[in-house]
Amino acid sequence: MRVALCQFGAGDDPVANAAEIDRFAEQAAEQGAKILVAPEAALVRLPEAHQPVAPHAQPLDGQFARDLAKSSAAHGITIVAGSFTPGDDERAVNTLVVLADGELVAHYDKLHLYDAFAYQESKNVRPGDNAPVTIDVDGIRFGLATCYDLRFPEIFRALIDNGAQAFLLPAAWVRGPVKEEHWFTLLRARAIENTAYLLASGEAGERCIGRSTAFDPLGLQLTDLGAGPGVGVVDVDPARVAAVRETVPSLSHRRFRVVAG
């Protein structure tokens, strides 16, 4: 099956951002994609570290999700996009929403918050407390993760234990020294060590690197969208996953298992 990655710089208007995703969904569907992965913080421009996020948050049945649900139905495609939902304190929750056939079918609250490189996401965002989330599309199981989650291999192992054959990772990977090197190195590592596809969509713009990309189960890079806005399509083949796991059966050689903490 085909999966599309899109990247753009979200603005301050959620309606306009949803319309941008709708245009990408149309392009992706025309190329035969069954899933479109949009960046983290696609609801609104990623706030600066000192800026509150809660005023931008929308419930899971809010206008942004409803607009994307309509797009999913109109184009016959599953949409995965970053949003912010209300938390139980003064902070918001960094939430991935998954829309298919006009409905919200899943959501994932980001577990690991970006308190690094002089940024403090936890000041304005509450960490999720959900178990790792997977979705099934056309017989393939995809695990969900968000941006900074990439630095924590145990979440990907937990997704593998839930049957994941591929990972979808929306991100807003902030620019900085060695940050692009970390992006590609970590993505490739998560793909190789889990013998799974990893498909990542990155926010494009002045602050974030873009560089949406995908790696196959052997760590071969399948695409790189560069720094500007755009959409690209890659093929995900479960037979490829099975073949690689037969050749490199490292998952069956594990001596330890991930236990939630």
260 in a structural domain:
no
Residue percentage of the chain with pLDDT more than 70: 100
CATH number for the domain that contains residue 37: 3.60.110.10
Confidence of residue 164 (pLDDT cuts 50, 70, 90): very high
Burial of residue 143 (CB within 10 Å: 0-12, 13-18, 19+) is: buried
**pLDDT recorded at residue 261:** 67
Catalytic status, residue 110? yes
- What is the chain's mean pLDDT, rounded? 97
pLDDT digits (tens, 9 = 90+) for 54-95: 999 999 999 999 999 999 999 999 999 999 999 999 999 999
Express each pLDDT in 196-214 by its tens digit. Answer: 999 999 999 999 999 999 9
Query: Do the domain assignments include residue 259?
Result: no
Report the pLDDT value the prediction gives residue 185, as an integer from 0 to 100: 99
Closest to 71 in 3D by CA, of 107, 108, 24, 111: 24
Residue 48 domain flag:
yes
Are residues 112 and 125 in contact, defined by beta-carbon separation less than 8 angstroms?
no
Q: 6, 20, 34, 110: which one is catalytic?
A: 110
Residue 81 lies in a domain: yes
- Domain residues for 164? 2-253
Catalytic position from the list 40, 121, 203, 208: 40
Of 35-39, 46-50, 81-85, 255-259, give the lowest mean pLDDT range. Answer: 46-50
Chain centroid to Cα 78, Å, comes to 13
Lowest mean pLDDT among 46-50, 62-66, 215-219, 250-254: 46-50
Kindly name the residue from 6, 20, 34, 147 that is annotated as catalytic: 147
Residues 6+ apart with CB under 8 A from 189: 153, 219
Residue type, 120: Q
- Name the DSSP class of 64: H
**247 burial level (CB within 10 Å; 0-12, 13-18, 19+):** exposed
Single pTM value for the model = 0.98
40 is catalytic: yes
Confirm if 107 and 131 have CB atoms less than 8 A apart: no
221 within a domain of the structure (yes/no): yes
Task: Count structural domains, the chain.
Answer: 1
When pLDDT is averaged across residues 114-135 and rounded to a whole number, the result is 95
* pLDDT for position 46: 82
